[in-house]
Amino acid sequence: MAKKRSSGRQLASTRLEKQIAGLPAKIDKLTTLVQEEFHSMYERQTSLERRIGMADERISDLADRTNIIRKEINEGFARVERRMDTVIQPQLDTHATRIKKLEGAVFSK
């Protein structure tokens, strides 16, 4: 029986040696896979950073355009208000004068 144990140990030893001998190839394969995945992730990150940068530029452009439009609207309303003041104020003054004349005529009697 001693021979069977010995041959079993030799068999296990041989398997272990084969596994150990195959480790460098497995490590190289794993290293290659990790490098490929790293490069893939790096490319994705770089692509996302570029897309975020472009989106940020678009947002800035839209904000600038919005500010320009807001300024133009405010200036337009200011012109309309000034025009209304120049047209309506004389009419209000005329009506106020008529009301004073009517009040004077009504209350003087």
Do the domain assignments include residue 88? no
Helix (H) or strand (E) holding 7: helix 2-108
Using DSSP's 3-state secondary structure scheme, residue 52 falls into helix
Domain range enclosing 24: 1-78
Q: What is the DSSP letter of 1?
A: -
Looking at residue 14, its amino acid is: T
Do the domain assignments include residue 109? no
Looking at residue 71, its amino acid is: K
**What pTM was estimated for this model as a whole?**
0.49
Do the domain assignments include residue 91? no
Domain count, the chain: 1
From first to last of its 109 residues, what are the pLDDT tens digits of the chain? 445 556 777 877 888 888 888 889 999 999 999 999 999 999 999 999 999 999 999 999 999 999 999 999 999 999 999 999 999 999 999 999 999 999 988 888 6
Residue 85, token pair as written in the block: 């003041």
